[in-house]
Structure 1
Amino acid sequence: MKFLLITLLAAAASSSFAPLHKAKERIDGSYIVMLKNGESLTAAVDTLRDSPFFSLLGGRIDIVYDNSLNAFAATLSEKALNMIRRWDIVEYVEEDGIYRVSAVGSWGIDRIDQRNLPLDNSYVAPRAGAGQTVYVVDTGIRHSHDDFGERASYHWDYQSSNGGEDCNGHGTTCAGIVGGATYGVAPSVSLKSVRVASCFGSSSTSNLINGLNSIPGNGVVSMAIGGGGSSSIDNAVADAVIRGIVVVVPAGSSNANACNYSPSREPSAITVGATDSSDERSSFSNYGTCVDIFAPGSSITSTWHTSDTATITMSGTSLACSHVAGAAALLLVRGVSASNVPSTITSEATSGVVSNPGTGSPNLLLYVQ
């Protein structure tokens, strides 16, 4: 105990502060603490939990990210925050923030299996996705929906008693585009709900990281959520990719530069912008050098959460992201390695057909074969 007290007192006395990264929409008193490479997460957490000094200052450990980031989430008073920032093992501290599901918009699957317009009113899924799993990191999934045919199941929920069920609708809609029998790109894929967002469609940074942390090192992640720039979110996505997961994210629906948002700015993710039925960039879609590819995202029909037969037509880069996540699963079935899926997605895309892609954007439209 004496050693722990000396350690924390030394941290409090240090004049050097670790950087504090600001969140666009912060959660008061909640922070992500990233340790330096080589520092022991277990030892750091044990030091804090075993010391009354930390709790007396108003500190509490909330989440330990023991499968991905060398980091933990904590509730910190101003004094506890200052002490943590002075600890020489800390790389940076980031404000926990609010992330929201991207607004959602089926001509889409009809479009991606042909090079040019007009549409031929058909979609035949190559290989269909059987044997692959897509983790839908979102508001949950209505697992019992008829379009999922018992292929949708629970994986993780920030409210464990909820069992990954969708009380918002966004996750069910995205899951339908990924792998619904009627509306899906990969209609035989297994769908796993990773519920990180509330019934209001928002998630904290810490919940997003915890959800990603729960996913084993295989398959595809469709994470149709975004917000302000976050090093912690970017690092969690990058770590998932290192573990062998293909991570697909939306560019965002603010008609702005995707490089200003997370996780769309993370290079290891596949970042997807949206197009409409005339192959023009959707008016809401973000753009720029951080976008990897475009996919249908305007007026897309898919599954809805209110009943086992419910559908809805919506728009957003979330749905574009979901198309690409389904396509990624098809590539894994084809034998493409997870590390080669992003380059295969872009190399096989249809080039030069997107009108007004936006400054810095690639002129690439998703194509499945």
Structure 2
Amino acid sequence: MKEQLRRGAVLTALGLTGAVLFAPVVTAAPLEEAVLTASGAEAVPGSYLVVYKSGVQADATALATRYQGRLGRSFSSVIQGFSVRGLSEQQARRLAADPAVDYVEQDAVVRLQDTQTDPIWNLDRIDQRELPLDKKYTYDNTASNVTAYVIDTGIRKSHSEFEGRASYGYDFVDNDSDASDCQGHGTHVAGTVAGKTYGVAKKAKIVALRVLGCDGTGSFEGIISAIDWVTANGVKPAVVNMSLGGNGSNTTMENAVRKSITAGFTYALAGGNSGQDACQFTPARTPEAITVGAVDQAGKRSVWNSSASSNFGTCLDIWAPGTAIRSASYSSDTGSTEMGGTSMASPGVAGAAALYLGANPSATPKQVRDALVANATKNLLTDIKTGSPNLFLYTGSGGQNPNPPDPPAGKLTAATSPVSQTIGAGQFGSTTVAVQGGAGTVRLSATGGPQGAMYFFQPTTISAAGSSQLSVFTGFAAAGTYPIKITATDGVNSATTTFTLTVR
């Protein structure tokens, strides 16, 4: 798209030169490129995420200054780029057209995924298939060789639950090394992952990355910075828990999670508390991670109040306890409190992933996810909505569960998540295209959609059992519903799937 715009600009300039005898010289307007935005997301005004083209090395400070912005943070491990602040929408579009830049994406607000509520049943529940509870939690290892990275509000590392195993990574809110907790959410989450009383993996080491402030909010910029930090500095085997999220999609953050997973870090993500399709929320929609829904003591999808219940749908991988979960409190070194939310379900799964890595330290993130899914209790849950997997977290066989085999080579399948989306005119639509099977490199292409639509796959080629983010720019297409056909081919086999985009 950029190349076409630049070529058009050259032709216009030549036309003006040829007409100089007949009209005054006209100065060509600066080039502009569309900026990625997520439908429904709460934008951070003036803040943008900038990703370089592949192979480009640029001076981030100079590039930000050139377009009248100021440098926020630089990223180098999971993405190559930076954040910039103080830009108008027009300045952001001009930055997006810079030859060094692949794309620019609007930063947005991210929030906690918990709902406060008034013996610790969740541990009792996940080590047995059926009710009633047996008043025991049995585990075959403590994950003492595993590090759990908690990207959240920080932690109270002096809490007795952590037995000296907790430490600070970095505080991306205050930009210092003190990631202490002034909100409580992160301490509670860390206790569920690895507390001595409330934790699933009772001896795992804990490292806190603070990205959410005392009010429980933050931005994609801070979260990407934390993912970048973990990927550059993390010690494996490791799990990463992110009990947070925002509306819509964020290509930059989702790609950062993917790169970190590729680097060997297993991610557990909260599915969200809006009572909606988890595919409409980020980072929950990232297919390579383990995305978790919440259920109550009766095995029913968690409902905390009239406006808060667990998200559902095909983007979930598994369900775990998320109602009335007791864990460590940030108010004292010995206190505890109850919370509810997919924020509380996700760290239970992160702890289970740590147990698996405790017994299988060389396992890949995909093997960890597949093992937890294969070991889950099936067809037990109720009110989980159409499309959701009926799989409840089970740790009874701990790290001894064998990894299920990969799909046979040669049978190529493709699927989109979400399968449909509604956007406004001039906005980008997006979906994740996941393929299974096949042999070698898989290439992706898209056809259909409104006239003049442009398609961007990131990455453009993937391996079998991989995924790519498809962004669709509709221009100013007329309102309507447009099916988009996506084709995956490895040169021998091919598969198709559909993404339906509605322009309102």
TM-score (norm 1): 0.91
Residue 352, structure 1, aligned to residue 352, structure 2: no
Residue 65, structure 1, aligned to residue 91, structure 2: no
Deviations 1:46-86 (A, max 9, x none): 6526xx6x1xx421221110111122100123443132122
Contact 2:168/2:177 (8 A) holds in 1? no
> What SS class does the counterpart of residue 58 from structure 2 fall into?
helix
Quote the Cα distance in structure 2 between the aligned partners of 1:271 and 1:288: 11
Residue type matched to 1:74 in 2?
V
Give the 3 Å change call, closer, same or farther, for CA 17–161 of structure 1 in structure 2.
closer
Residue 214, structure 1, aligned to residue 239, structure 2: no
1:202 to 205, 209, 217: 217
2:50 to 33, 38, 54: 33
Contact 2:35/2:93 (8 A) holds in 1? no
**Percent of aligned pairs with the same residue?**
39
Quote the Cα distance in structure 1 between the aligned partners of 2:222 and 2:285: 19
Cα shift at 1:233: 1.6
Residue 20, structure 1, aligned to residue 25, structure 2: no
Deviations 1:262-291 (A, max 9, x none): 000000110000010011111211000000
In the comparison of the two structures, how many residue pairs are matched? Answer: 353
Residue 118, structure 1, aligned to residue 132, structure 2: yes
Counterpart in 1 of 2:276?
Answer: 256
Counterpart in 2 of 1:178?
Answer: 193
Quote the Cα distance in structure 2 between the aligned partners of 1:164 and 1:213: 16
Contact 2:35/2:92 (8 A) holds in 1? no
Quote the Cα distance in structure 1 between the aligned partners of 2:58 and 2:31: 23
Cα shift at 1:27: 1.1
Higher RCO structure (Cα 8 Å, ≥6 apart): 1
Deviations 1:304-345 (A, max 9, x none): 100001111111001100100000000001116033101001
2:264 to 240, 244, 249: 244
Quote the Cα distance in structure 2 between the aligned partners of 1:325 and 1:24: 26
Quote the Cα distance in structure 1 between the aligned partners of 2:169 and 2:61: 28
Quote the Cα distance in structure 2 between the aligned partners of 1:309 and 1:226: 29
TM-score (norm 2): 0.67
Which stretch has the larger CA shift, 257-266 or 61-70?
61-70
Deviations 1:25-62 (A, max 9, x none): 111110001223x241x32526526xx6x1xx421221
Report 1:73-88 matches (<5 A).
73-75=83-85, 76-88=87-99
Counterpart in 1 of 2:111?
Answer: 100
Contact 2:161/2:196 (8 A) holds in 1? yes
As a proportion of its length, which structure holds more helix? Answer: 1
Superposition misfits of 4+ residues, deviation over 2 angstroms? 12-16, 44-47, 77-80, 88-92
Quote the Cα distance in structure 2 between the aligned partners of 1:193 and 1:312: 19
Residue 291, structure 1, aligned to residue 316, structure 2: yes
Deviations 1:79-115 (A, max 9, x none): 4313212224433221111101111462001100001
> What SS class does the counterpart of residue 124 from structure 1 fall into?
coil
Quote the Cα distance in structure 2 between the aligned partners of 1:231 and 1:161: 27
Deviations 1:181-234 (A, max 9, x none): 110001111011011110111111100000111013531101101111211221
Contact 1:153/1:192 (8 A) holds in 2? yes
Which stretch has the larger CA shift, 224-233 or 272-281?
224-233
As a proportion of its length, which structure holds more strand? Answer: 2
RMSD: 1.9
Question: Structure 1: where are the runs of 5+ without partners?
Answer: 1-8
Cα shift at 1:177: 0.5
Residue 147, structure 1, aligned to residue 161, structure 2: yes
Residue 225, structure 1, aligned to residue 251, structure 2: no
Question: Structure 2: where are the runs of 5+ without partners?
Answer: 1-8, 11-27, 304-308, 398-504
